[in-house]
Structure 1
Amino acid sequence: MTGEIINLRQARKRKARSEREKKADDNRIKFGRTKSEKKLTAKTGDLEVRRLEAHRLDRNAPKDGIDGDGDQ
């Protein structure tokens, strides 16, 4: 006839903990990348920048395309 007696404080904490774990799992899927993936992305970006700079026609020209007198 008697049901299981539970501590409501512990039940609330258990529920909150499981919700935080679920949110953390979702964030790992959404934002998680391995260290090697991050390194690969950084190296690829650096390589692209170096290739672009290597093909610049005038190496002394400012990078923003505006020369010193204000003309483009």
Structure 2
Amino acid sequence: MSGKIVNLSRVRKTRAREDKRRRGDENAAKFGRSKVERALQDARAEKDTAHLDAHKRDGTDEE
């Protein structure tokens, strides 16, 4: 009976780390956005802001 001695605490921690990484990868694939999608959303937001700013009225209304 010459088996390898295993530290059970280390095995549990390693398994927990692997499970956490696997869940994180699944969530990234499920909910994450690609770099192109983020850039597109940022560009659209900037364009919308510029469009709204172009239609602002000045505070100097003459009556």
- Which TM-score applies when normalising by structure 2? 0.61
The CA deviation string for residues 7-55 of structure 1, in whole angstroms up to 9 with x for no partner, is 2234213321221122211331344222221111111001011112222
Q: Is residue 40 of structure 2 the alignment partner of residue 15 of structure 1?
A: no
Higher relative contact order (CA 8 A, sep 6+): 1
Paired amino acid for 2:14: R
Counterparts of residues 22-61 of structure 1 (less than 5 Å)? 22-56=22-56, 58=57, 60-61=58-59
Identity of aligned residues (%): 32
CA distance in 2 between counterparts of 1:34 and 1:6 reads 44
| Greater helix proportion | 2
The residue number in structure 2 matching 1:66 is none
> What RMSD in Å do the two structures reach over aligned CA positions?
2.5
Give the gaps of 5 or more residues in structure 2: none
The residue number in structure 2 matching 1:64 is none
How has the CA–CA distance of structure 1 residues 31 and 5 changed in structure 2, closer, same or farther, with 3 Å as cutoff?
Answer: same
How has the CA–CA distance of structure 1 residues 16 and 47 changed in structure 2, closer, same or farther, with 3 Å as cutoff?
Answer: same
Runs of 4+ that moved beyond 6 A:
none
